[in-house]
Structure 1
């Protein structure tokens, strides 16, 4: 396995991240409002569904680029032992490492974005300034632990499944899958992973939206999940599951398809320039 190019992973990951975040932003807003403790209508309903998009636009490129740079390098590093039965484990480790690094960029962007989504009358920069003034830098990282606890299980399901589906399809075709086929595998893998990790996403949303100083804001994921279960039951734990599955299935198609397509194009251009 060739060592991945830094620039290729950077650009391909960034393009993929921007594409999916901007295209699917309205679905993400609806999902956030469904999970909001104040309820869908009070959080804004279907009004102002692009509230918070500046935060997503600024954070999406570096966030996705950081993930894929880490993912490709860890995957390359672990590939020294090419035992096929260990490949899913290697993909899990690579994806988990990528999420831990990417969340350093993703969480501040997500905190600002989600607060804007449930308060469409406030401007993104105003929300950002208020967080810094009232809570300091740690306010921007509220929910880091819950986000990592959501993203790692998600990636443990999504990326090994994506890689396995591509490998199976490639084996049946007798050649490496095309970008659109990789995108189809990504859609299936993303939708499945989204469904099973929705309760963790609910907990992350509640923690990020909680008032500063409240028990929820402390970031205890199990405590938040227990509270949701006691007050709303199973429907509360899976609030927003359908828009989340829809967004991430479409997102998986766009994100992983765009990544593979951009990466292949950049590598081809790199070879032609030699």
Structure 2
């Protein structure tokens, strides 16, 4: 009997739909994660995720929580499509006559998926981080308001409406994603969009090595029989558990990646020349705990994101859509 073939177009459609739905649901938490990871000891504005979201709404309005969402929604479709489809592709070709994959082969398939996705992930996150962190940078760069200040707060708002205290309105005049892209391409070429590629690989490859085997094994535990997919709620829970576990495990590298990809900083904030320099400065100036910044935010982002993704994926929406297309006769 011939091996069961996988439909790559259907897998790509499933991954794309899953990414769009998931990102729309969890983007504000992702914004909080970026801002928490980027703030350093000398420019601490937020004490927690809830504090960050409250201050963001107060200073930038409700839609401030979705700053950078357009970039994410545009590129998450190919990113998630590549990630999920590549994992299926590698699992299919690593299996022997349809037999269950060994743990090592599952991890190898995850490694391949994580490596493939960085083609889209790196420029997507490079642009998203600049837009997400614009509100924090506007406040960090604003002049401090003290009791001995001669100019009144009202006068400061007239002079610098884009830079007032975190509790008041902030008019964030950040460039658009297209402007950032054009500037990077003009100044540094395609390499500008791929700044932080090494750190992205160090994050996404281990993430996929942990996530995909863990999800597959948890999902298999929920199957009622040897054949057929697990119920949708089992896929959702398995995706949430596997996603949050992998997210927390690689959070230290995510902090490094976020810092390296941030182009604008406050005057008191460190700059980094590479992964090693970033690790050294964070350890020296902020201590080991800094590598866990935003860990619970990242877990809250990844858990529902991959839970939703796996449900959409296993519902086979791509196969359903393709079923309406006319079949080519040989």
Q: Normalized against structure 1, the TM-score is what?
A: 0.87
2:77, 2:252 → 1: CA distance?
27
For residues 1-274 of structure 1, the aligned pairs below 5 Å read 1-37=3-39, 39=43, 41=45, 46=56, 47=60, 48-80=64-96, 84=100, 86-120=101-135, 121=172, 122=174, 123-170=176-223, 176-210=229-263, 217-220=272-275, 222-262=276-316, 266=320, 269=323
Q: Tell me how many residue pairs correspond in the alignment.
A: 271
1:179, 1:267 → 2: CA distance?
19
The alpha-carbon deviation at position 28 of structure 1 amounts to 0.6
The alpha-carbon deviation at position 167 of structure 1 amounts to 1.2
The 1:230–1:8 alpha-carbon spacing in structure 2 relative to 1, beyond 3 Å, is same
Deviating more after overlay: 237-246 vs 227-236: 227-236
Is the 2:207–2:250 Cα contact (8 Å) retained in structure 1? yes
The alpha-carbon deviation at position 19 of structure 1 amounts to 1.4
The alpha-carbon deviation at position 51 of structure 1 amounts to 1.1
Q: Which structure shows the higher helix fraction?
A: 1
Deviating more after overlay: 16-25 vs 38-47: 38-47
The alpha-carbon deviation at position 82 of structure 1 amounts to 5.4
Unpaired stretches in structure 2, ≥5 consecutive residues:
47-51, 136-171
Per-residue CA deviation, residues 5-56 of structure 1 (Å, 9 max, x unaligned), is 1211110111111111222111110000001145563999524221111211
* Secondary structure at 2:4 match in 1: coil
Is the 2:229–2:314 Cα contact (8 Å) retained in structure 1? no
- Structure of greater Rg: 2
Is the 2:19–2:305 Cα contact (8 Å) retained in structure 1? no
The alpha-carbon deviation at position 135 of structure 1 amounts to 2.4
Per-residue CA deviation, residues 158-203 of structure 1 (Å, 9 max, x unaligned), is 1110000011221689863112211110000111111111101001
* Secondary structure at 1:148 match in 2: helix
RMSD: 3.0
Unpaired stretches in structure 1, ≥5 consecutive residues:
none
Is the 2:129–2:262 Cα contact (8 Å) retained in structure 1? yes
